[in-house]
Amino acid sequence: MKFIGKISWPVLCFNQREEKLPRLQQLFMKGIYTMKRTLLAATLALGFVGAGSASAGLIINGGTAGNVGVTPSNDVLDTYTGSPIAGAFQAELQASAATKLKIEFLGKEAGWLNTFTLGGQSLSTASTVGDSIYVDVVAGTVLFNILTGGAGSVANGANNDPATAGIPDFWLGYDPLNSGSVILALDDGGANPDDDNHDDLVLRISEVPEPSSLALIGLGLVGAGVAARRRKA
């Protein structure tokens, strides 16, 4: 038995010279180092997955299932997706936990000034496409209100029946182009209240990742890169 450092190495190759043992030790230690790096990369990658699943989540609760877009035509969403989007009328938007929301103006086809307000901040049909507001919300019903230019207002949690002429209502659907985001489309009950095309104010509502989640995502990407390089090597 030959002792090298703190590791006991049996002389396995009787026909080989003892000078080869340090090389075996180097290979052994390199193998341990590689395993540690791989385990670290895997841990960081799991952190990346965990960051994605830690999202509070936006929930479309209740309502009557129905599509918006194409037929009847929605001037905003038909350009956005080119196909109908599944969602619900008379539904309520909820957050499953406290979170920060980004509300982005996608467009409108309306003569009235329609205004969406949440947490003291607003977007309206006077906004420019891409304009956004950021609002912290608590778990439960997202407390927004939409004031139309002539047919009154509608609030989340008290959404109106779209079949009733002359009053505003909104539709909610999950954005097919942005996972986890919700599209809100308003029918303001205005000049043509029965068209039900819900393009009088169209918004996208999304969660804003927390800084800690962004850090985990970054570490996860680094870890995944390390693992990929080790595999190629």
Q: What is the domain partition of the chain in residue ranges?
A: 58-208
What residues are paired with 154 via a beta bridge?
A: 146
Nearest to 213 by CA among 100, 60, 96, 136: 100
Would you state the structure tokens that stand for residue 226, as one six-digit string?
């390390």
- What is the amino acid identity at position 40? L
3-state helix, strand, coil in the chain (%, to 5): 25, 35, 40
| 91: its two tokens | 């539904």
Q: Is pLDDT of 143 > 60? A: yes
Q: Lowest mean pLDDT: which of 12-16, 33-37, 120-124? A: 12-16
Instruction: Kindly report which listed range (40-49, 99-108, 186-195, 207-216) carries the lowest average pLDDT score.
Output: 40-49
And the tokens for 79? Answer: 């350009």
Residue 53, pLDDT score: 33
Q: Is the CB of residue 110 less than 8 Å from the CB of residue 200?
A: yes
Alpha helical stretches, state H, 112-171: none
pTM of the model: 0.69
C-alpha 154/C-alpha 93 separation (Å) is 13
pLDDT surpassing 50 at residue 109: yes
Share of the chain above pLDDT 70, in %: 64
Q: What pLDDT shows up at residue 112?
A: 93
The hierarchical CATH code for the domain 58-208 is 2.60.120
Within 138-181, strands assigned E span 140-141, 144-147, 153-155, 169-174
Share of the chain above pLDDT 90, in %: 53
H helix or E strand, kind and range, residue 213:
helix 211-232
